[in-house]
Chain A
Amino acid sequence: MPDMSLEKVKMPEQDPKVRSSNFNEVALGYTEEMALKESQRCLNCKTRPCVSGCPVNVQIPDFIRLIREGDFEGAYNKIKETNNLPAICGRVCPQESQCEKLCVRGKKGEPVGIGRLERFVADWYMANRETRAKAVEKNGKKVAVIGSGPAGLTCAGDLAKKGYDVTIFEAFHVPGGVLMYGIPEFRLPKALVQKEIDTVRSLGVKIMTNMVIGKVLTLEDLKNEGFEAVFIGSGAGLPKFMGIPGENLNGVYSANEFLTRINLMKAYKYPQTDTPVKVTGNVAVVGGGNVAMDAARCAKRLGAKNVYIVYRRSEDEMPARLEEIHHAREEGIVFRLLTNPIRIIGTDDGWVSGMECVEMELGEPDASGRRKPVKKPGSEHILEVGTVIIAIGQSPNPLIKSATPGLKTQEWGGIIAQDETGATNIEGVYAGGDAVTGAATVILAMGAGKKAAKAIDEYLRNKK
């Protein structure tokens, strides 16, 4: 009989007061008992709505049944059939708007903790089993994957499983893309990301770091090197600025720069590491998405006393996950909602000393369907901060586009690719993830990588 309690088994977390000054992981994961108990809440229903909510089609009720039977290895293998990166998905997927949103148990009470169970299984496997990939017969066909973020890793893993000779080209000195430079250690430990990447390598995927495609090699060069198909998963790496006065003052960061310094370059360990980051007592983070929450929580951990999230709409419109907003609040981040910056103010020698803002109120819905913020006259005020982090979104990096004149893109920079296949307008060239959609989620990028792998396989099998 299923466990009919209305709430998920709680996952232990670091105390907010303690964790707001360290970079260790916030959520601590289920124990075996907790996982067994939570697995009993799944009804193993016939309709399986959760599966249709998963962009990579994880057979959720099946892996949960295996947990219930105590077969954790079997559960892991079940997830791995369709998901190359379970330890990552179990941590950063927005389950509340995907699988768990559709869970039957959610109609009355909380849905099954699918994400927590996935994380448990992946962590159990990493702790207890050696990763061994099944030997796959190679078909001798070479495929190039540009970018080693979630889209690229997924596409590469799937193609390698089908026998392709896959090489990933990564611009940075370590693979992982946004999983390494963007998402902070306390949400996604980097050692774990590298372990997941090792499982992709064990499938025979080669990863070449320090290779900026578009500069060191063009798509044409890749073709000449014998790559028969290319997948572009280069992400959304172009930071947006607001276009207000004072954005070049010292102390103004794009969220990309701030997070890259901290996560990829490990500035939080400075001076043990060589890359510094500067955080003052008062910090403003502009924006309301997950990236803004990450930046704010990093600033707090680096010793800022007051960290403000400055967002021009209300909390209802915030794109960040509820869990992230909740965690940020617990850690003492202050939300200045319905507030919009109009100018960053500096000292004579060029350092940020404050940010002038106006209050907003919500008017009629705009093109995005959200109510449009309108300025309240006479509400100008100054927020005294020494650091400003701009987290209002990223666009696709234009490097590949600029080196590939024939490649069609949207006006805002996204590569134009077919939804179901990732095919671009150039034969044999596919694209997916943030490079196509603009900044979105890890799991959507993985879904796109998966579809493209399938399409590339079909394309190369049909090519004479």
Chain B
Amino acid sequence: MFRIVKKKVLNPSVKLLEIEAPFVARKAEPGQFIILRVSDEGERIPLTIADYDREKGTVTIIFQEVGKTTMLLGALEEGDYILDFVGPLGVPSHLEGIKRAAVVGGGLGTAIAYPQAKKLHSLGAEVDVITGFRNSSLILLEDELKKVSNRLFITTDDGSNGNKGFVTDVLKKLLEEGNKYDLVIAIGPLIMMKMVSQLTKQYGVKTIVSMNPVMIDGTGMCGGCRVTVGGKIKFACVDGPDFDGHEVDFDEAMRRQAMYRVQEKKSLEDHVCRLGGVFNA
């Protein structure tokens, strides 16, 4: 059992939990993830490590309430326990030797991009951070990101923060202006990572994306998380989750993500029904 030491609501559907998990905290690195389970009948879901504190022995996760498991997780309070919490899994991001980077986060992906930006910044790299949200009420980690970036650009789809557009618009402008990056890191919805990768390919800038497919064990055992990269089958849990964005077959990844959509919706509806709520799909 793993105790929740801190809870923070970041926006209406995104929450942060800091969890006591000393073994995980000891080894965690940016780019890695954990798998958790909240109840005996529950599923195992992967979540990226958003932060860690080796001294306190805690690991921070940030998640959006999109399904039954994340809703159950979001309902837990400080002092409550998470049943199972295993990690750190996956290969850490290779960030050494990077002098100039653009870190691009879409929506919740911003939370996952934060530790990468932080690490790059601590290694002395010049870091531009570009994040995008649907509207200004959803903006995440603005203060934290300011501290670890040289420039921070925040866009909203509806322009409610005064900067209407997509992250790709900003990145394109920066590249057109002649900004040279050793590395672009893109983390967010598959469609956003695909668009960023298509853009950077034209400019020949190396691009790393973080894949988050359906997983069970997270140790290479089930193969459910397979992704085609450069024409070869890779397992996101052990070969990734970071992959070369120019090599990933995003269209296949998007199809595979839909595999359990019907069941996921049913689990959520049943759960909301039991809570006595009303579900609007």
Give the interface of A toward B (CB within 8 A): 171-173, 181, 209-212, 215-217, 237-239, 241, 247-248, 250-251, 253-254, 256-257, 260-261, 264-266, 269-276, 278, 349-350, 397-399
**Contact at A257–B252, with CB atoms within 8 Å?**
no
Q: Which residues of B contact A349 (CB under 8 A)?
A: 255
B220's contact among A251, A276, A398, by CB below 8 Å, is which?
A: A398
CB nearest to A250 among chain B residues: B259
**Would you call B41 and A350 a contact (CB within 8 A)?**
no
Contact A257 B84 (CB under 8 A): no
- Interface flags for B256-272 (1: CB within 8 Å of A; 0: not) read 10111001101100100
Of A171, A215, A253, A399, chain B has the most CB atoms within 10 Å of the CB of A215
Report yes or no: B222 in contact with A257, Cβ–Cβ below 8 A. Answer: yes
A397 to B226, CA, bound (A): 16
Q: Are A211 and B221 in contact, CB atoms less than 8 angstroms apart?
A: no
A-side contacts of B220, CB under 8 Å: 237-238, 397-399
Minimum C-beta distance from A26 to chain B (A):
25
Asked if A275 and B23 sit within 8 Å, CB to CB, the answer is no
A-B contacts, 8 listed (Cβ < 8 Å)? A181-B221, A210-B85, A216-B24, A216-B87, A217-B23, A265-B43, A270-B263, A275-B43
Identify the closest chain A residue to B27 (Cβ).
Answer: A216
Chain A residues, Cβ within 8 Å of B109: none
A172-B217, A266-B41 known; A215 vs B89 contact (CB < 8 Å): yes
Q: Is the CB of B23 within 8 A of A211?
A: yes
- For B238, the chain A residues whose CB sits under 8 A away are 398-399
Contact B256 A248 (CB under 8 A): yes
Contact B223 A254 (CB under 8 A): yes
Q: In the docked arrangement, what's the CA distance between A53 and B176, Å? A: 74
A contact face: mostly helix, strand, loop, or mixed: loop
Give me 7 other A-B pairs in contact (C-beta within 8 A), A278-B260, A397-B219 excluded: A241-B233, A247-B233, A257-B222, A260-B217, A276-B263, A278-B263, A350-B256
A293 to B85, CA, bound (A): 33
Q: For the complex, what is the distance from the CA of A171 to the CA of B86, rounded to whole Å?
A: 8
- Asked whether B170 is an interface residue with its Cβ less than 8 Å from the other chain, the reply is no
Please indicate the chain A residues that have their CB under 8 angstroms from the CB of B264 in the complex: 276
Q: Which of B41, B85, B217, B258 contacts A273 (CB 8 A)?
A: B41
**In the complex, A186 Cα to B226 Cα: how many Å?**
29
B31 at the interface (CB under 8 A from A): no
Q: What's the nearest-Cβ distance from chain A to residue B42, in Å? A: 5
- Closest Cβ of chain A to B253, distance in Å, is 9
Contact B252 A274 (CB under 8 A): no
**CB of A344 to closest CB in B, whole Å:** 13
Q: A173 and B84: CB pair below 8 A? A: yes
Among residues of A, the one whose C-beta sits closest to the C-beta of B83 is A173
> When each residue 31-48 of chain B gets 1 if its CB lies under 8 Å from chain A and 0 otherwise, what string results?
000000101011110000
CB distance from A3 to the nearest CB of B (A): 47
Q: List the A side residues contacting B233 at CB < 8 Å.
A: 241, 247-248
Measured between alpha carbons, how far is A239 from B226 in the docked complex, in Å? 11
B165 at the interface (CB under 8 A from A): no
Q: Is B149 an interface residue (CB 8 A)?
A: no
Residues of B within 8 A of A250 (CB): 255-256, 258-259
- Assess the B88–A261 pair: CB atoms within 8 A: no
State whether A173 and B37 are in contact (beta carbons under 8 Å apart), knowing that A248-B252, A275-B43 are contacts in the complex.
yes
A240 to chain B, nearest CB (A): 9
Closest 10 CB pairs of A and B: A350-B255, A276-B263, A257-B222, A237-B221, A210-B86, A274-B43, A173-B84, A254-B223, A273-B41, A275-B43
Q: Which residue of B lies closest to A208 (CB)?
A: B23
Question: Known contacts A257-B224, A276-B263, A399-B238; is A212 also within 8 Å of B219 by CB?
Answer: yes
Give the distance in Å from the alpha carbon of A92 to the alpha carbon of B143 in the complex. 59
A275 — which chain B residues lie within 8 A by C-beta? 43-44, 216
**Given A212-B89, A248-B233: A274 touches B83 (CB 8 Å cut-off):** no
Contact A256 B69 (CB under 8 A): no
Q: Which A residues are in CB contact (< 8 Å) with B43?
A: 265, 273-275
Task: Give the contacting residue for B41; candidates A241, A260, A274; CB below 8 A.
Answer: A274
Cβ of B68 within 8 Å of any chain A Cβ, yes or no, is yes
B198 close to A (CB within 8 Å): no
B135 within 8 A of A: no
User: Which one of A210, A264, A276 contacts B84 once the chains associate, using CB atoms below 8 Å?
Assistant: A210
Determine whether the beta carbon of A209 is less than 8 Å from that of B87. Answer: no
Give A181 to B84 CA distance when docked, in angstroms: 17
Q: Which residue of B lies closest to A172 (CB)?
A: B217
Given that A211-B86, A261-B216, A349-B255 are known contacts, is A239 also in contact with B23, CB under 8 Å in the complex?
A: no
Residue of A whose beta carbon sits closest to that of B260: A276
